[in-house]
Amino acid sequence: MRPTRESFGRTRTRKAETDGESRWIRFIEDTPSAWVTRYWRVEAKQGGLFLGGIKWWGGWRKYCFFPEQATIFEKDCLRDIADFCEAQTFIRQAERSLEKAKQPHGTQAG
């Protein structure tokens, strides 16, 4: 099922401070309120076409891009998407490290 502006827009919990854009695409945070990790819609700047989403992939412990079917990307867009995923993964890991450092010894975050 394809995420839409309507389906996620009502449940958005975080401000757009992590939104971003490159020359051809934009990243729009659209995290459902029940999610622990963040989600971004990836859209074409021209026309706003939904290209896919970026979300946390636990198996790799990284943010990954999940492209919409029948989308084609060239190297600059792929590089921008990869850079965005890498930056958001770094932020997520840094936030988790800070959370763990604040906890008393012997306890774990949920």
**Into how many domains does the chain fold?**
1
Examine residue 47 and state whether it is found in any structural domain, yes or no: yes
C-alpha count within 13 angstroms, C-beta hemisphere, residue 95: 9
Banded model confidence at residue 110, pLDDT cuts 50, 70, 90: low
Examine residue 83 and state whether it is found in any structural domain, yes or no: yes
What's the pTM value of the predicted model, to 2 decimals?
0.75
Segments forming the whole domain that contains residue 9 = 5-101
75-105: pLDDT as tens digits: 999 999 999 999 999 999 999 999 888 887 7
Amino acid at 11: T
Cα–Cα dist 26/79, whole Å: 13
Question: Going by C-beta distance under 8 Å and a sequence separation of 6 or more, which residues neighbour residue 27?
Answer: 18, 19, 20, 21, 40, 41, 42, 54, 84
Question: Going by C-beta distance under 8 Å and a sequence separation of 6 or more, which residues neighbour residue 9?
Answer: 30
Examine residue 91 and state whether it is found in any structural domain, yes or no: yes
pLDDT greater than 60 at residue 41: yes
